[in-house]
Amino acid sequence: MQVDLSWTSTGIIGPMFAVRCADCRLTAGDSVAARRGHAVAASAGLRVGKRRVRCRHCRGEVVDADRGHCYTCNADRALEQFLVCAESSTCRDQQALPTDCIVAEDAECQCSICMQTVPAGDFAVQFPSCRHALDLECFEAFVQSAVNNRQIAPSPERNLYSLNCPMRCPESLLVYTDTIRLAGDGVYQRFKLFATEISLTLASGGMFCPHPRCGTGIMGPLPSSRVIDCPNPDCRRPICLRCLADAVQCGCRRGTVPADLPGSKRCPFCSSPVTHYKDDGCHHIGYGIGGCQGRNPDGTVCGRHWCYVCLCEWPGPTCMRDHWFCSSSCDCPGRRETPDRTT
């Protein structure tokens, strides 16, 4: 019997990489992540890890991987790989959890958001399918924005919900949702809550509140009326079931085109008005929803991706570097109170 592993008498194979040691006996402050300035990730258990191979029968690590032979059993056995924390010898007896985090080994690892090189020996999150990497600071900001805007994508092949690559690479999801813990336990708990809500809403034939910073799931079956109210007590805004827009601002009832809201901008491709409020997340219009949801003159959905700041097709040459997220200097309007519904 053979397995695709290199032989070693100690069971250690392959280069070091990052794992999550949930009950690490090494204090977070003494970890490599903490020394690199990643306190949140260190508290979440981010550690340099090792991949090992052992006998599946006796769990002994003195094996010949080429032959599939366990010297402890003195017999040919099925072998398995497992992960351990490499930073503490006392964690050797407990299995670590896999993550999508890597340890940069050279100067070729570059963050796809800030375009800065990740220093050798530092951590970065890498999306397995497209190989785009994010340093941990940019990853935390990305996760916060994606979860706040409920941009959580399903992966039917893996039967899970995860986050898609911020570069819009198709079907490029984080494989291990434990990676999201590296952005903080609070945002991870919200991710799990929203993912559960999305799953239940889709299964019931419901919909999601289209208002920015809400996205609350509305369980189906939906009523036959034209307007429903968002059930989120912090939102409660009316939703038009015809165009999935704010029922006060849409023109479905009167057959008119809604006037531009103060601070809104026109899509450079379909000319539909779009309002991106301060702190609504990234300036990427169309992220996670298949592009701009405005209508072309022929009635088809626009579907284009563009930047709310410079009005160019996303990503522009400086969008992700200079103004990817809202800041005190951007011209996005502050959130205003929703007007009373007209009769």
Unique residue bearing structure tokens 């990305």: 142
Q: What angle do CA 218, 238, 227 make, to 5 degrees?
A: 80
- Mean pLDDT value of segment 258-275: 71
**Average pLDDT score, the chain:** 79
List all residues 6 or more positions away from 210 whose beta carbon is below 8 Å from its beta carbon.
239, 244, 245, 246
Which run of H or E residues covers position 18? strand 12-20
Q: Which residue has the higher pLDDT, 175 or 215?
A: 175
Q: What is the pLDDT of residue 261?
A: 58
More confident: 4 or 220: 220
Burial of 342 (0-12, 13-18, 19+ CB in 10 A): exposed
> Domains of the chain, with CATH numbers?
17-98 (no CATH), 109-204 (3.30.40), 207-246 (no CATH), 264-330 (no CATH)
CA distances from 226 to 191, 239, 246, 252, 340 (A): 31, 8, 12, 9, 17
- Going from the C-alpha of 19 to that of each of 190, 250, 256, 321, the distances in angstroms are 22, 49, 56, 29
Question: Residue type at 189?
Answer: Q
301 burial via Cβ count (<10 Å: 0-12, 13-18, 19+): middle
DSSP codes joined into one string, 72-95: TTTEE--EEEEEEESS-GGGTTSP
pLDDT value of position 251 = 60
Question: What are the tens digits of pLDDT across the range 284-338?
Answer: 888 777 788 877 766 677 888 888 888 888 877 777 777 888 777 777 877 654 4
Residue 105 predicted with pLDDT over 60: yes
So what's the pLDDT on residue 143?
93
